[in-house]
């Protein structure tokens, strides 16, 4: 009997070919939402969309762009904020 | 606008938000900058000019810029010079000489009678311990 959590669509279904040749369905948790800019809500580049345990395995430099506010603001908003600070 | 000695703020990259000085005007849209940032070529689109202009020589060296900027309160970035590492030399493989095989030690075969003697050690009778009972 299939359990309830596998009947709903909360899990992603991945087809996997087993060594025996048959295709089985594996249930995996879905990827988290894409990272967005804190000001303009634009999708951020250079931020991987992975589960926390996969993010933990990554080095710090691969988790976000290496500039001030990297992974928080998009480059446009970051530039604007630097200029605003000067004034 | 971007003449030599112009104080700017870098807008792009890992040095974004740091102040720098134009050291040299290069061809096209580029200038050479130095200061709190790394000394490097930079696109004008990535610089925000400030009002101040500092008196420095054209193509001034990094040491000259540190002398002029540090009294003004700027923390000039000093990068460590890269050490030229020597290329690892390829080691020529020298074949290890295998130890010369010496013939197996041949043990002289014993005769059947002698073999049986050698295998069966003579039983040495141990003197039986007699319990001494002493009456007090």
What are the b/e assignments for A11-49, b being 16+ CB within 10 Å?
eeeeeeeeeeeeeeeeeeeeeeeebebeeeeeebeebee
State how far the Cα of A49 lies from the Cα of A34, in Å rounded to an integer.
6
Residue A31 has pLDDT above 90, yes or no: yes
Q: How high is the mean pLDDT of chain A?
A: 94
The pLDDT assigned to A24 comes to 96
Complex ipTM, two decimals?
A: 0.74
| pLDDT value for B122 | 59
A67–B9: do the CB atoms touch at under 8 Å?
Answer: no
pLDDT at A56: 95
Tokens of A47: 């931020």
Q: Does A79 touch chain B (CB under 8 A)?
A: yes
* A78 closest CB neighbour out of B16, B48, B50: B16
Work out the angle at residue B4's Cα, subtended by the Cα atoms of residues A86 and B7, and round it to the nearest 5 degrees: 15
Report the residue of A78, A79, A87 to disrupt the B interface, i.e. the one with the largest count of B CBs within 10 Å.
A79
Of A66, A75, A82, the CB nearest to B17: A82
Chain centroid, CA A47 distance in Å:
7
Cα–Cα distance, A65 to A44 (Å, whole number): 9
| pTM for the whole structure | 0.66
């Amino acid at each position: 009997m299939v359990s309830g959590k596998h009947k709903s669509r909360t899990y992603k279904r991945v087809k996997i070919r087993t060594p025996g040749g048959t295709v089985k369905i594996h249930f995996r948790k879905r990827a988290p939402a894409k990272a967005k800019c804190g000001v303009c809500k634009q999708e951020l580049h250079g931020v991987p969309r992975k589960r926390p345990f996969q993010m933990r395995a990554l080095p710090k430099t691969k988790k976000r762009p290496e500039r001030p506010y990297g992974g928080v603001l998009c480059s446009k908003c970051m530039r604007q904020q630097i200029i605003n600070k000067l004034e | 606008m971007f003449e030599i000695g112009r104080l700017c703020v870098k807008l792009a990259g890992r040095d974004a938000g740091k102040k720098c000085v134009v050291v040299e005007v290069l061809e096209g849209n580029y200038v050479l900058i130095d200061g709190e940032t790394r000394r490097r070529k930079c696109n004008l689109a990535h610089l925000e000019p400030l009002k101040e202009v500092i008196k420095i020589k054209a193509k001034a060296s990094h040491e000259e810029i540190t002398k002029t900027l540090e009294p003004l309160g700027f923390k000039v970035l000093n990068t460590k010079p890269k050490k030229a590492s020597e290329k690892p030399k390829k080691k020529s493989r020298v074949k290890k000489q295998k130890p010369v095989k010496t013939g197996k030690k041949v043990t002289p075969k014993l005769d059947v009678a002698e073999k049986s003697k050698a295998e069966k050690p003579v039983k040495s009778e141990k003197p039986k311990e007699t319990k001494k009972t002493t009456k007090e």
